[in-house]
């Protein structure tokens, strides 16, 4: 029996103008973007559709912007009768997955990710943290090298385990620089510093996680109607209390994306539908298992071409 997972991208997938065609074409999708403006009390839609890019790249804007566009596309998709057996999202994308699973209302999600973005930006002073993409290294070897560098007083950790041969590290600027210089010790072919505003998904984000935990105490979370595969565990979760705890942990824990995709495939998922801006997740999933079907729904034309049978 063929199974389908809806998957949602995270930070890095944003582009000025994303979602404009679906906003113009579908009343339900337009209503989602308008709800985002209303929930936040400013015109997020103008930043999404017109930029400037610098404003869209600010974490506190990027996170609600990507969520809004993913859910606007999801509305159009579900309006055509498409359904998922599982959902998952990459980092911020987990919030889109929770909205899709009915665990979180869209307006609560928008306000929460806006706060999450602000907390993440504030957690570490600018320039003190960094991230880098490590290409070609084995996970265990890279984890051991990070532990060695951390023991020398320069904290650095695995942040995103994306696919074979692509792992993102995060930590202090000195720790990340040490991996840039010593990556070959873990078998890395290249280490590429990333243009990000903080050391996301590292223990340096614990202050942001604490603030998010406080924010989530006043947010209504419901049990998920579709299993959500969580970043922290790479296993499915449906209970509201478990989801709440995992969202807090997720801020300072690695995103186990490769493990999550493999888990979904083990459950019988053979079709992945990426819903949101860009095609980042399609690229990663292809490197994890080239035999599964991957469809990116990021425009009206992609929606029109979609056939899951």
Residues marked as catalytic: 91, 201
Cis peptide before 52 (omega within 30 of 0): yes
Name the burial class of residue 305, with classes exposed (0-12), middle (13-18) and buried (19+) by CB atoms within 10 angstroms of its CB: exposed
């Amino acid at each position: 029996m063929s199974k389908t997972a809806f998957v949602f991208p995270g930070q890095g997938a944003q582009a000025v103008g994303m979602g404009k065609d679906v906003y113009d074409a579908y009343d339900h999708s337009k209503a989602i973007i308008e709800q985002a403006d209303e929930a936040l009390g400013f015109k997020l839609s103008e930043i999404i559709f017109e930029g400037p890019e610098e404003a869209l790249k600010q974490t506190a804007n990027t996170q609600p912007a990507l969520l809004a566009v993913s859910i606007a596309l999801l509305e159009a998709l579900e309006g055509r009768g498409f359904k998922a057996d599982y959902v998952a999202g990459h980092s911020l994308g987990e919030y889109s997955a929770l909205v899709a699973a009915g665990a979180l209302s869209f307006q609560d999600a928008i306000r929460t990710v806006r706060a999450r973005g602000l907390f993440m930006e504030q957690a570490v002073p600018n320039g003190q943290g960094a991230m880098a993409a490590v290409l070609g290294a084995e996970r265990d070897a890279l984890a051991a090298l990070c532990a060695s560098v951390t023991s020398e007083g320069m904290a650095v950790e695995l942040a995103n385990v994306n696919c074979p041969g692509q792992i993102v590290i995060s930590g202090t600027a000195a720790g990340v620089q040490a991996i840039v210089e010593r990556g070959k010790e873990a078998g890395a072919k290249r280490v590429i510093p990333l243009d990000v505003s903080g050391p996301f998904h590292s223990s340096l984000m614990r202050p942001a996680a604490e603030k998010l935990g406080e924010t989530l105490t006043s947010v209504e979370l419901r049990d998920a109607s579709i299993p959500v595969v969580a970043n922290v565990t790479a296993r499915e979760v449906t209970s509201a209390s478990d989801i709440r705890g995992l969202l807090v942990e997720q801020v300072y824990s690695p995103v186990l994306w490769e493990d999550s995709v493999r888990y979904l495939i083990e459950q019988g998922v053979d079709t992945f539908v990426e819903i949101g801006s860009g095609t980042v997740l399609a690229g990663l999933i292809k490197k994890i298992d080239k035999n599964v079907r991957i469809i990116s729904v990021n425009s009206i034309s992609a929606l029109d071409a979609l056939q899951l049978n």
